[in-house]
Amino acid sequence: MSQHLPPLNALRAFESAARLESFSAAANELFVTHGAVSKQIKQLESWLGVQLFERTGGRVKLTDTGWRYLVQVQDGLDIIANATAQLLQPNRQRRLVINSTPTLAMYWLLPQLAEFQRQFPDVELRLMTSDRDISRLDAPFDIAIRRGPGDWPGYITKPFLDERELPLVSPALLEHSPIKQPADLAKHTLLYADTRPTAWQRWLTLAGVPELKPASTQQFDHFYLALQAAMDGLGVVLGPLPMMQTELAAGRLIAPLASPVVPVRGYCWIVPRSVMNDPAIVAFCQWLESSAEMLGQNPKS
């Protein structure tokens, strides 16, 4: 095996210089000189027989071959780091960092996490929420949940939860002003979220009332605020199913209209390719899929 491996110190220097796009910055990170980094990378290029960097004046830039090699090298180093961490901490509870969109975390994921913990008591979960693209996240994660499918190079991803939209309203508001057909929404306040700006117009068009003028509208920066406002009786929200199934079952919200039910982009789990074989990660992804399948909302259902 060793005869097929390039010099490991040179690989480290390459990964650092490629990620930082600077030999000098790599030298600072690795506590060596600029010349040492340059020498290691020349040694690696000679060993591979390919050029990894374009050198123009005092600047360096990865070649296309270098970019492709960087992805594979980072995957390999991540696998080694992960295996080492598990070896050095065999008796410590395994921690998984889950990064989910806020609304899904609050209304679908959190209510079910107790069941995962019951099945896997040795896995500690740390739940973080964000709407940002995974390429712009500040903190590392083991599993991310985002709408998809998307373009996520370097990650393994799979759809696991379908979603559809339907108007939802509190029982008290519905009793005061019934909704028996889409046109009745004109008597109500429609609740909007900045993260779903075209949702209502799409639904109203499919319902056959594209020109409907509601009594008023109210705007929220986050969708979960619009959902809470609906439960508090402030208006009608275009709510996601099955995400709001718990609130519907508890009677906090009612779906007064049976149609149209509008399908929208569902959710995917996203895992860095380098840790995809981690047993705890595999278990969590399979649990996500089975949880969605129980609701009849798994894409393969």
pLDDT tens string 3-52 = 577 888 888 888 888 888 888 888 888 888 888 888 998 998 889 889 99
Q: Where are the beta strands (DSSP E) in the chain?
A: 53-56, 59-62, 94-100, 123-129, 143-147, 155-168, 189-193, 216-220, 236-241, 262-272
Q: Is the pLDDT reported for residue 297 higher than 70?
A: no
Measured between alpha carbons, how far is residue 36 from residues 12, 13, 55 in Å?
12, 9, 16
Which percentage of the chain shows pLDDT scores above 70?
Answer: 92
Q: What is the mean pLDDT of residues 80-84?
A: 69
The class level of CATH for 93-301 reads alpha beta
> pLDDT tier at 185 (50, 70, 90 boundaries)?
very high
Domain with CATH 3.40.190.290 in the chain: 93-301
The CATH number of 2-88 is which of 3.40.50.12780, 1.10.10.10, 1.10.569.10, 3.40.50.300?
1.10.10.10
Over 60: is that where the pLDDT of 265 sits?
yes
User: Regarding beta strands 94-100 and 143-147, do their DSSP bridges make them parallel or antiparallel, or are they unpaired?
Assistant: parallel
**Tokens in use for 96?**
């998984």
User: What is the per-residue pLDDT for 301?
Assistant: 44
CA distance 144 to 160: 12
What single letter denotes the amino acid at residue 83? A
Q: What is the CA radius of gyration of the chain?
A: 25
- Mean local confidence (pLDDT), 111-128: 90
Where do the CATH 1.10.10.10 domains begin and end in the chain? 2-88
pLDDT at residue 171 tops 90: yes
C-alpha count within 13 angstroms, C-beta hemisphere, residue 129? 12
pTM over 0.75? The answer is: no
What are phi and psi for residue 191, nearest 5 degrees? -95, 125
Q: pLDDT over 90 for what percent of the chain? A: 37
The structure tokens 């929404």 sit at 185
Q: How many CA atoms lie within 13 A of 37 on its CB side?
A: 24
- Please name the amino acid found at residue 121: P
| pLDDT at position 203 | 95
Pairwise CA distance, residues 170 & 84, whole Å: 52
CA angle 34, 37, 39 (to 5 degrees): 110
pLDDT (mean) for 264-274: 91
